[in-house]
Amino acid sequence: MGNTLGKLFTITCFGESHGDCMAVVVDGCPAGLPLDEADIQQEADKRRPGTAGTTERREPDKVEIISGVHDGHTTGAPICMLCWNKDVDSGAYEKNRFALRPGHADYTAFTKYGGFNDFRGGGRFSGRITLAYVMAGAIARKLIGRLGIDVFAHTVEIGGIKARPQALADIKEKASQNPLWCADPEDAAKMARLIEQTKAAKDSLGGIIEGVALGVPAGLGEPVFGNFDGELAKALFAIPAVKGVAFGAGFAVANMKGSENNDLYDMQDGKIITRTNHAGGVLGGISTGMPVIVRVAVKPTASIARGQETVDIQKMARTSLSVTGRHDTCIVPRAVPVVVAMMAVTICDFALQAGLIPRVLT
């Protein structure tokens, strides 16, 4: 239960961190979309670790398309994609199997599944499951790209260091220049230094990612339980470690007056626009046609090498734990491509529901 997302463009994810593979089945993709493994691989590569403060686990994450593509085009059948897990080392997890990691899902998963859950590497509660999201997102991005919709994301804050604001038009290009996905190179360097210092202090950091979708037409969303923002938030909350999602001005609206928050309508090239975008591109659960702007708060990584008090759930006794093994000091940079993927998947589903993407592409 709970591993399928979407109505017409559905993604079903499976695989555990230390199991055989990470995989996804995409159903509802129209036939005739040119697609090969390289399209998916280039997105999967963006979330691979490799920078300072990211896990030492080295996975090739080589994408295989198992079904749904023939002669370089989607067939309309379910598309199964997977990456085999190669660099598995469960030693650290076996040793501390019953010592609950504070801040992780060990206690809740043990309770829900009666201890049968695959605990190795966090099992289904590992950040590695987001590889499946990114593979599905690669297809969604191609589909919505045909409508002129462009989705990207960037790091706006890590450990309290805020990136200086940039012009919307420059963010995508600038953020792609450094592994932190921060559009300001000086702030990126500061963030990288802080991550290194925090790792040395056996601790971790959180931060904020901003997702942007340009070219989303007005009118997407299915009020009231299929709201554009509600469904996006649901998809973004499926990213492990995400603790907050806010559109446009977000929580700041609470302290604004109506005269400050209201986005005034205007005309530009015969089209209705708003002069500001405090709404973040959504009103009444329906896209406004303005850029969709969503901020995602990512918590500091739960697994830290610093000693912490906890409970051994088998002995039902207090114990202490310092989490060894391979972990990201800061999840934010690795989650940036995942935010893009989940936005693309959700927008693609809405575009199909609105009839904007035909069932057969020519």
Ligand X SMILES: Cc1cc2nc3c(=O)[nH]c(=O)nc-3n(C[C@H](O)[C@H](O)[C@H](O)COP(=O)(O)O)c2cc1C
State the residues that interact with ligand X by CB under 6 A.
55, 104-105, 122, 125-127, 130, 239-241, 299, 301-303, 327-328, 331, 334-335, 338
Q: Whole-number minimum distance, CB 158 to ligand X, in Å?
A: 14
Least Cβ distance, residue 76 to ligand X (angstroms):
31
Helices (H) and strands (E) in the chain — how many of each? Answer: 9, 18
Residue with tokens 């406004």: 288
* Nearer to ligand X among residue 161 and residue 302 (C-beta): 302
Q: Which is nearer to ligand X, 290 or 338 (CB)?
A: 338
Least distance CB 180 / ligand X (angstroms)? 14
Q: Rounded CA gap, 28 and 348, in Å?
A: 10
Q: How far apart are the first and last CA of the chain?
A: 36
Please, what is the minimum distance in Å from the beta carbon of residue 189 to ligand X? 22
Residues forming a β-bridge with 123 = none
Q: Could you give the angle at which helices 130-145 and 37-46 cross, rounded to 10 degrees?
A: 120
Alpha-carbon distances, residue 189 vs 185, 196, 237, 243, 349 (angstroms): 6, 11, 28, 25, 37
Say if residues 69 and 36 touch (Cβ distance below 8 Å). Answer: yes
Q: Rounded to the nearest whole angstrom, what is the least distance from the CB of residue 262 to ligand X in the complex? A: 34
288 vs 329 by CB, closer to ligand X: 329
- Cβ 190 to ligand X, closest distance in Å? 22
CB atoms within 10 A of CB 161: 19
Our CB check for ligand X shows the closer of 128 and 278 to be: 128
Closer by beta carbon to ligand X, 210 or else 328: 328
Which residue number places its CB atom closest to ligand X? 127
Shorter beta-carbon distance to ligand X: residue 136 or 335 = 335
Question: What is the Rg, in whole angstroms, of the alpha carbon atoms belonging to the chain?
Answer: 21
d(CA 57, CA 34): 33
3-class SS letters over 116-172 = CCCCHHHHHHCHHHHHHHHHHHHHHHHHHHCCCCEEEEEEEEECCEECCCCCHHHHH
Closer of 144 and 241 to ligand X (Cβ): 241
CB of 128 to ligand X, least distance (A): 7
Q: Could you tell me the smallest distance in angstroms from the CB atom of residue 282 to ligand X? A: 23
CB of 173 to ligand X, least distance (A): 23
**Whose CA is closest to 319, among 310, 328, 330, 327?**
310
Give phi and psi for 210, each to the nearest 5.
Answer: -110, 125
CB of 147 to ligand X, least distance (A): 28
- 154/278 with CB nearer ligand X: 154
Nearer to ligand X, 288 or 303 (CB): 303
CA-closest candidate to residue 246, choices 290, 210, 272: 210
Q: How far apart, in Å, are the Cα atoms of 128 and each of 111, 181, 294?
A: 22, 19, 23
- With respect to ligand X, which residue has the nearer C-beta, 157 or 263? 157
Compute the distance between CA of residue 340 and CA of residue 332 in angstroms, rounded to an integer.
13
